[in-house]
Chains A and B, each alone.
Chain A
Amino acid sequence: MKFTKYLGLRLLTWALTIWIGVTFIFFVPRMFPSDPVETMIGQIQARAGQMDPLQMEMLRRSLRVQFGLEGSLLEQYLSFLWKGLLQWDFGPSLMSYPTPVGDIIRTYLPYTLILTMTSTILAWLVGNFIGLQAGFRKDRRSSKIMEGIAICIYPIPYFIVALILQIVFAYILGWFPLQSTIYTFGGFGPFIRSLIRASILPALSLLLVSTGWWIISMKSLSSTVAEEDFVLFARYRGIPSGKIGRSYVMRNSIITQITALAMSLGGAFNGSIMTEIIFGYPGVGGLIQKAVLRSDYNMILGCITISIVAISTATLIVDLIYPLIDPRIRYS
């Protein structure tokens, strides 16, 4: 009974988050003085020379329709919510006209999802494992060394780590290509092999940064739990130290880390965008960069809307795992 209430409340928050985010990105561009249609027309004129006024007017009108700038503000808003959010229809992409934005994103999104999910989950597992060891046995030298390394890597922005890895491993050592290429043709084998080869450096740079964070936070959490009375009592009862680590310290500190995982997904996505751009990895990040260079606003809006939905949903899923692990939440 309580769980259904929790679920309902959580679903409501999920819907509200997406709605607020999407509303925000709908109104923000309309507050800026620059008009994408006029920018486009300027670009077209620069390429094609002067056009006659009638043609210009037709062009302007058709561009307004394609940008979803037709009608009153309320109509625009409702059609943006209806088409964009519910049907994933963001109009045609302007850089690869007339392919719909939705189709292009659908081909790029899986690459980003694979990269982000794998590295986030791996970083969470590895980081929490090391952090637990470091916090539970905090007087060991190895614990201090691991924490020291984590502190020196975590605060560095993702793209700097990516850049350093690129310079060292791709440029100086030459173990990997400078820019990733993935063979979508030539069968399944070459595809997987090129995908793995292209993903190693991006994934490694994401892993390094986020593992650092989980080590730091898990260490401070578990070292606090390790000093609590029930752990002390368990020690006096002569329970083996490994079991104390697993069933006493870990179980109590992992719960906080699950909430933290949910909160960190947005940041992980930001990181993966930057990493993709540095390595030329064919994901949503690379797509956003291309769209920015070509002023493809439909594409930018599409990518943002989909990433808001994706991140909120991932956060929701992590939050729903939470009550399965912490039995207390069902009754509180």
Chain B
Amino acid sequence: MRKFWRNANFRLKAGIIITAFFLLLGFVVYYIPHVDPFTYNTYRGKLPPSWEHPLGTTSMGQDVFWLLIEAIHNSLLIGLIVATIGTVVGVFVGLLSGFSGGVVDRVLMVVTDTFVVVPSLPILVLMTSLMKGSTTILVMALVLAVFAWAWPSRQIRSLALSLKERDFIHTAWFSGEGTMEVVVTEILPYALTWSLSNFMNATLAAIASESSLAVLGLSPANLISLGNMIQWARERNAIFAQQWFWIGPPIVATVLLFIGLFLLITGYNDYLSMKRGR
């Protein structure tokens, strides 16, 4: 562990610190008992920041700080669920396509490429507008996952293609291991190291898509997410009323979270390529 930290580059360290900070907010601070921030008129509206309300209150008398914590929790949760589904499906499809070759490979590649090229947002808009308001976090995550598997699957396929020709795979092959066995014991460990950066990327993309849908008013109306929080503040004219402590925190949090995750991804990739000795 200590050795890892010493070898880690600056970006990886910064990324780990920022991401850990958000995980702490979203999954530890979140469980400190607090008043449900969603209920209107819990407090007096439009209070400036104070000791009781570190970020003040909204026009509807909600505590901005706890609203923010809840938003971070939900956004991270959606991101993680989508990334998990996307990565698992992506690795599966990528390996299948890379190892089976022939017609299966071609069909899978055309479908995968379609999902990479086609603009995802309008289709997500269509899907979510059909179930307006009546969704849960899980359903939302499932919908977002429709576009999360394609990119990892492309990456894993090219990895599988290059691995297929390596000596140790041939050795495993000739020593009588079955295809399944080779894939699970020899390829999967490689694919997993690779998938980690895809996983973080998918988390980032999912949170971004959810907040984009929220700005369109298509995220579940009872879901406190970073995107919804920004949208609510926009709808209630927080910009015109200059309530910067209301609209500011979710924007700053989103920006920081994204930079943190991105630093983590590029730092991790650099770390891997350095370890491979390049």
Enumerate chain A interface residues (CB-CB to B < 8 A): 13, 16-17, 20-21, 24-25, 28-29, 32, 34, 36, 151-152, 154-160, 163-164, 167, 171, 216, 262-263, 265-267, 269-270, 273-274, 277-278, 288-289, 292-293, 295, 300-301, 303-304, 307-308, 311-312, 315
Beta-carbon contact of A28 and B127 below 8 Å: yes
A28, A300, A308: the one within 8 Å of B119 (CB): A308
Return chain B residues, CB-CB under 8 Å to A36: 130
Q: Taking A163-B234, A274-B212, A307-B119 as given, write out 17 further A-B residue pairs in contact, using a Cβ cutoff of 8 Å, ordered by the A residue number.
A: A21-B118, A24-B123, A155-B258, A157-B211, A157-B254, A158-B212, A160-B255, A269-B121, A270-B212, A288-B125, A288-B216, A292-B216, A292-B217, A295-B129, A300-B126, A311-B117, A312-B118
B122, B217, B240, B261: the one within 8 Å of A307 (CB): B122
Give the Cβ gap from B22 to chain A, nearest Cβ, in Å.
13
For the complex, is B230 an interface residue (Cβ under 8 Å from A)? yes
Once bound together, how far apart are the Cα atoms of A213 and B183, in whole Å?
A: 34
Give the Cβ gap from A308 to chain B, nearest Cβ, in Å.
5
B111, B118, B204, B261: the one within 8 Å of A308 (CB): B118
5 contacts between A and B (CB under 8 A): A28-B126, A155-B261, A156-B255, A163-B234, A292-B125
Which of B110, B111, B208 has most A Cβ within 10 Å? B208
B114, B122, B258: the one within 8 Å of A156 (CB): B258
What is the size, in residues, of chain B's interface with A at 8 Å between Cβ atoms? 40
Tell me whether A288 and B122 are in contact in the complex, defined as CB-CB below 8 angstroms, given that A151-B259, A151-B266, A157-B208 are known contacts.
yes
Beta-carbon contact of A303 and B211 below 8 Å: no
Q: Which of B245-273 contact A (CB under 8 A)?
A: 251, 254-255, 258-259, 261-263, 266
Give the Cβ gap from B17 to chain A, nearest Cβ, in Å.
15
For the complex, is B116 an interface residue (Cβ under 8 Å from A)? yes
Enumerate chain B interface residues (CB-CB to A < 8 A): 11, 110-111, 113-114, 116-123, 125-127, 129-131, 204, 208, 211-212, 215-218, 230, 234, 239-240, 251, 254-255, 258-259, 261-263, 266
Beta-carbon contact of B110 and A20 below 8 Å: yes
Return chain B residues, CB-CB under 8 Å to A24: 114, 123
Once bound together, how far apart are the Cα atoms of A312 and B116, in whole Å?
A: 11
B116, B119, B131, B218: the one within 8 Å of A32 (CB): B131
Beta-carbon contact of A270 and B119 below 8 Å: yes
Beta-carbon contact of A303 and B122 below 8 Å: yes
B119, B204, B230: the one within 8 Å of A266 (CB): B119
Beta-carbon contact of A157 and B258 below 8 Å: yes
Tell me whether A155 and B259 are in contact in the complex, defined as CB-CB below 8 angstroms, given that A25-B126, A266-B120, A295-B129 are known contacts.
yes
Which of B129, B211, B234 has most A Cβ within 10 Å? B129
Return chain A residues, CB-CB under 8 Å to B251: 160, 163-164
Give the Cβ gap from B123 to chain A, nearest Cβ, in Å.
6
Once bound together, how far apart are the Cα atoms of A13 and B217, in whole Å?
A: 35
Once bound together, how far apart are the Cα atoms of A315 and B121, in whole Å?
A: 17
Tell me whether A292 and B120 are in contact in the complex, defined as CB-CB below 8 angstroms, given that A160-B254, A171-B239 are known contacts.
no
Beta-carbon contact of A17 and B258 below 8 Å: no
Tell me whether A159 and B131 are in contact in the complex, defined as CB-CB below 8 angstroms, given that A28-B126, A304-B126 are known contacts.
no
Return chain B residues, CB-CB under 8 Å to A167: 239
Beta-carbon contact of A292 and B208 below 8 Å: no
Once bound together, how far apart are the Cα atoms of A308 and B263, in whole Å?
A: 32
Once bound together, how far apart are the Cα atoms of A167 and B233, in whole Å?
A: 13
Which of B110, B111, B215 has most A Cβ within 10 Å? B215
Give the Cβ gap from A305 to chain B, nearest Cβ, in Å.
9
Tell me whether A155 and B117 are in contact in the complex, defined as CB-CB below 8 angstroms, given that A273-B122, A295-B129 are known contacts.
no
